[in-house]
Amino acid sequence: MATLKLTSPTWEVTTSNQINNTTLWSKWLAIADGQAGNKTGWFLFSLVLQGVLFLPIPAVLMYYYDAPIAVLGVTMILFFANIIAGMGGSGIRTVLSFFVASVLVHVIMLAIFII
């Protein structure tokens, strides 16, 4: 004869105080996710801004401030990485992260060689 055994559930409701940790990274991801519908626009904006403002930077830095040729390599790698990220089907997080990283690297390069 089969007997029924009463067991306690394996899941128990635990009430704990959940702390809402809002970090800078989670805020960035929320902003990027909010721009998912504008991915093509951000890609085109990134290409235009880099083509107009960032691609001339190595010429200026190398001619006027005696920067090494590596500045040109860094600029070209960042430019083509943005093209590949945008055209390769990456998500909006990747496209915006590459764009922001490119802006930061170019600002740092300008600060290093001009100041």
Average pLDDT estimate for 6-14: 65
Q: How many residues in total does the chain contain?
A: 115
Residue 101 lies in a domain: yes
| Residue whose structure tokens are 């401030």 | 65
pTM recorded for the entire structure: 0.77
CA–CA dist 57, 6 (Å, integer): 74
pLDDT, one tens digit per residue, over 17-63 is 767 778 999 999 999 999 999 999 999 999 999 999 999 999 999 99
Q: In terms of pLDDT, which residue wins out, 76 or 16?
A: 76
Q: Quick one: pLDDT at residue 15?
A: 64
How far is residue 28's CA from residue 97's CA, in Å, rounded to a whole number? 9
In a domain, 73, yes or no: yes
For residue 62, the model assigns a pLDDT of: 94
Is residue 97 in some structural domain? Answer: yes
Would residue 81 count as lying in a domain? Answer: yes
Residue 102 belongs to domain spanning: 39-114
Residue 106's pLDDT is what? 96
Domain total of the chain:
1
In a domain, 75, yes or no: yes
User: Encoding tokens for residue 3?
Assistant: 């007997």
Q: Residues 77, 101: contact at Cβ < 8 Å?
A: no
- Asked if residue 103 is part of any domain, the answer here is yes
Does residue 3 lie in a domain region? no
